[in-house]
Amino acid sequence: MYIFVNDLPPIVQQTLRRFSYFRKDISITPKESVSIRSSGGAGQRDYTAIIQVGSNEVETHTGSWGGANIFNPDNEVDLGEKAIKIEPHIMVIKGSEGGHAYANIYAHSSIVKLYACDIESVSEQEKSVLKAYKELKSGPYRTEALNRVPNHRIIVSDLVNRGMLKQSKNGATQITTKGKNVL
Mean pLDDT by 10 residues, the chain (183 residues): 94 95 95 88 89 94 85 82 92 92 94 84 94 94 95 95 95 93 90
Domain that holds residue 25: 2-115
Are residues 170 and 104 both part of a single domain?
Answer: no
The DSSP code for 99 is S
The per-residue pLDDT for 38 is 83
The per-residue pLDDT for 41 is 79
Q: What is the CATH number of the domain that holds 131?
A: 1.10.10
The per-residue pLDDT for 81 is 82
**Ramachandran bin of 43, using left for φ above 0, alpha for ψ from -120 to 50, beta for the remaining angles:** left
Question: Which among 64, 86, 115 is the end of a domain?
Answer: 115
Are residues 31 and 110 both part of a single domain?
Answer: yes
Q: Model's pTM, two decimal places?
A: 0.82
Question: Which among 115, 134, 151 is the end of a domain?
Answer: 115
Question: Which among 95, 115, 135 is the end of a domain?
Answer: 115
Strand partners of residue 11: none
Angle (deg, nearest 10), helices 140-147 and 152-161: 100
Are residues 129 and 150 both part of a single domain?
Answer: yes
From CA 144, how far away is CA 121, in angstroms rounded? 25
Are residues 9 and 97 both part of a single domain?
Answer: yes
Q: In Å, how far are 66, 119, 180 from 116, measured between CA atoms?
A: 35, 9, 13
Tally of structural domains, the chain: 2
Are residues 98 and 130 both part of a single domain?
Answer: no
What DSSP string describes 133-145? HHHS-TTHHHHHH
From CA 151, how far away is CA 147, in angstroms rounded? 8
Are residues 94 and 173 both part of a single domain?
Answer: no
From CA 157, how far away is CA 178, in angstroms rounded? 15
